[in-house]
Amino acid sequence: MKKHNVIIRNLLKTAGFGPVTSLADVEKLAGDGSDRLFFRLHLPNCPPLLAIIASPFFDKGLIEAKSTFRIGTHLFDKGVPVPEIFGFEPRDGAVLCADLGDMHLQQITCGPGGFKEAEKFYCQAIDALVELQVEGKENFDLRFCWDTPYYDEKLMLDRESGYFYRSFCRDFMGMIPDDPCITLEFQKMAQKVSREPRSYLLHRDYQSRNLMVHEEKVYIIDFQGARMGPLGYDLASLLIDPYAGLTASQQEKMYLYYIECISQKIAFDPEQFYEGYVQLALQRNLQILGAFAFLSQIKGKNFFKKFILPAVYSLSTLLDRLPGMPYPCLTRLVLEIIERLEKEKKYPTVEI
């Protein structure tokens, strides 16, 4: 903690705020899937502040932190609702930003008021998404990106469908489907998605736990992985999000609201968009399952385990929405996974 205090002192000095005077000024917070370190600062005569320090376990943590600073500053300047950034220390990978509290969209959606209470915030989240996609792309420098500058076929095959196969099917489920048909279907899916225009800014983890609600307004966090990509991916991330568990009718309502919003910004073909949207939702769903398996099994973060079965159900539903069953091998595999999970009852579902 002493080392972190030194980093935070330097960060505050750079930003022109008062120093940390005691350990009581600093409250360590838990992250979700990230290994970055989060500290809430309780300082007199200062606005609520949050210090984010690069993960000590991630060899690219420093450049990821630089992306947080550069992308966050860019989005804030474009009027996208993100936390204001007050300071950055590149040597330590430390970012100082506004503290937006602890309330995220999932808590409201899964709270006593349910979707009825959360709907207005989903509308705000979609308004913010459109701003990020359209306004955020203007003058976006690809050098801001610490990872890849584009959402592309290689990323899909390695970190989405490949992630699903390795971390979820093989490592988590203990299933090694020796069927080249599945690999070919993943390639086919990635090729289809690659045809979608990728000229908009993509968050790539746009879900309810990355949307903070502060003073009745929605703010976007965890944007450091932003890159250029297709419109439908982030919308799919929001609507099929297992944390929130929106019903089919709720998803449709928000989908139509997005169509209305984006149509006011750009020339837009809703029918063509829908075809790409379902393919992108499949890609996102595969990524979700790979991530939940890795985080719960390898990282020991059992919080994610209860969302696995809902995410598998979501994947099955998406496959059913495609005409002509274009991915029969994947469909059969998913049905087998559902049967095993339901039979074993090892992985609890989240109550919504």
SS3 labels along 257-278? HHHHHHHCCCCCCHHHHHHHHH
Same-domain check for residues 250 and 133: yes
In a domain, 352, yes or no: no
Helix or strand holding residue 159 (H, E): helix 153-159
Give the three-class secondary structure for 98: strand
The last residue of one of the domains, among 70, 98, 126, is 98
| Count of positions (residues) in the chain | 352
pLDDT at 64: 95
Domain count, the chain: 2
Q: Distance between CA 340 and CA 347 in Å, rounded?
A: 10
CATH number of residue 201's parent domain: 3.90.1200.10
Is the separation of the CB atoms in 160 and 148 below 8 Å?
no
DSSP E strands, 103-209: 200-202
The CA-based diameter of the chain, rounded to the nearest angstrom, is 65
Q: Is the dihedral of CA 210, 212, 217, 221 positive or negative?
A: negative
Task: Assess whether 325 and 227 both reside in one domain.
Answer: yes
CA distance to 163, 189, 288, 315, 330, per residue, from 184 (Å): 15, 9, 20, 18, 10
For residue 20, tell me if it sits in a domain: yes
Query: Which range of residues forms the domain containing residue 12?
Result: 2-98
The residue from 98, 113, 129 where one domain ends is: 98
Instruction: Show which of 98, 130, 152 is a domain's final residue.
Output: 98
pTM: 0.94
In this structure, the number of other CB atoms found within 10 A of the CB of residue 103 comes to 15
pLDDT at 352: 34
Is residue 269 located within the same domain as residue 190?
yes
Residue 351 counted as domain residue: no
Using 50 as the pLDDT threshold, list the residues of the chain that sit under it: 350-352
